[in-house]
Amino acid sequence: MKILTCIKQVPASSNVDVDPETGVLIRDGKNVKMNPYDLYALETAYLLKARSGAHVHTVTMGPPSAADVLREALMMGSDGATLLSDPRFAGADVLATAYALSQMLRRIGFDLIICGKQTTDGDTAQVGPEIAEFLDVPHVSYVRDVDLRDDKTLRIRTVDDRHEDVLDIKLPCLITVDKDANTPRLPSFKRKRSTRDIRIETWTLDDLSDKEATHYGLRGSPTQVESIFPPERQATGRIHSNLENPGKTLFDILVEQKWLRGD
């Protein structure tokens, strides 16, 4: 069985702000990390590998530096990795991102694709299901448990607000894994050594079967960010600072506004 895992490099901090004077985005450092939700996707793949001897190949799309998260995945348990990187993908929205990835995944070949439930920078949870649609395979989102029922079917468990469902899904398919589905492993020093010689290939648009550049990046994106702006701030409130006894002040406010009775 061939499992492909899709991961993403995201900013380490979500502290982004807009300078109200100039409108310039201010980012708190340029540190990056692996999208934390992807750790559960990778662990799911490694657990299946341990049970059934699957081959786990990990891919990402991003700038050349995104190869770092692939290297990390190799140190955790992936058997191979490929980076999709091309300036012609710049400005891609969900559709253009999912399309580019689906082109890549199809060419690599798969029985099962595993994604994290969402990323911490985009927060849309949309790329996984769109990939599934482009590849014409079924998908299930927010998966908690996976097991192979037979060599053509996965048995999975999902949990949402109201229901806990057990589903059978036919391979090939795509799943997105919920947070807390498992306990992700850490990169290991042993694997760091044993995977040192694995080369991470970089693919560009020229490696995909659809080479029409207008289908990718900004030009392949139906949605466009018209403008960005700081959220509305209504300065209606009172700030109580330099208090001698802030606990007492809070108590007094709660009493004064009749949330508490103050005998």
Partner 1 sequence: MAYIKIRQEKVDKKTVEELKEICPFDAFDYIDAYLSINAACKMCKLCVQKGPEGVCELIEGTPASIDKGAYRGIAVFIETRNDTIHPVGWELIGKARELVADTTNPVHALIIGPSTARAAELALAYGVDKVTAYEHEDYRYHDLERITDIVADFCKRTRLNVLLIGGTPYGRSLAPRIAARLKTGLTADCTKLEMTDEGDLVQIRPAFGGNIMARIVTPAHRPQLATIRHKMFNAPAPATPFGVIDRLSEAAGKQRDRVRLVSTRVRPQVDDIADAETIIALGRAFKKKKDLALVEPLRKALSAELACTRPLIENGWFDARRQIGLSGRTVKPKLLVNIGISGAVQYIEGIRDAECILTVNTDPECALASISHHTIVGDLYDVLPTLNDHLKKNGRVPS
- Which residue(s) pair with 55 in the sheet? 2
Cβ closer to partner 1: 114 or 195? 114
Give the interface size with partner 1 as a residue count (CB under 8 A): 109
Structure tokens that stand for 200 in this block:
């991470």
Q: Which of residues 46-75 bind partner 1 (CB under 8 A)?
A: 61-65
Residue 57 phi, psi dihedral angles, 5° rounding? -120, 135
Residue 155 phi, psi dihedral angles, 5° rounding? -105, 125
Query: If 0-12 CB within 10 Å is exposed, 13-18 middle and 19+ buried, where does residue 68 land?
Result: middle
Cβ closer to partner 1: 27 or 211? 27
Q: Which of residues 15-34 bind partner 1 (CB under 8 A)?
A: 15-18, 22-27, 30
Q: Which one of the spans 41-49, 108-116, 125-133, 187-195 is the region binding partner 1 (CB under 8 A)?
A: 125-133
- Is 93 a residue that touches partner 1 (CB under 8 A)? yes
Cis peptide before 172, with omega less than 30 degrees from 0? yes
- Is 150 a residue that touches partner 1 (CB under 8 A)? no
CB of 98 to partner 1, least distance (A): 6
- Is 151 a residue that touches partner 1 (CB under 8 A)? no
Angle at which helix 94-108 crosses helix 127-134, to 10 degrees, equals 50
Q: Which residues of 240-261 are buried (b: 16+ CB within 10 A; e: fewer)?
A: eeeeeeeeeeeeeeeeeeeeee
Cβ closer to partner 1: 209 or 245? 245
- Is 138 a residue that touches partner 1 (CB under 8 A)? yes
- Is 211 a residue that touches partner 1 (CB under 8 A)? no
Cβ closer to partner 1: 95 or 191? 95
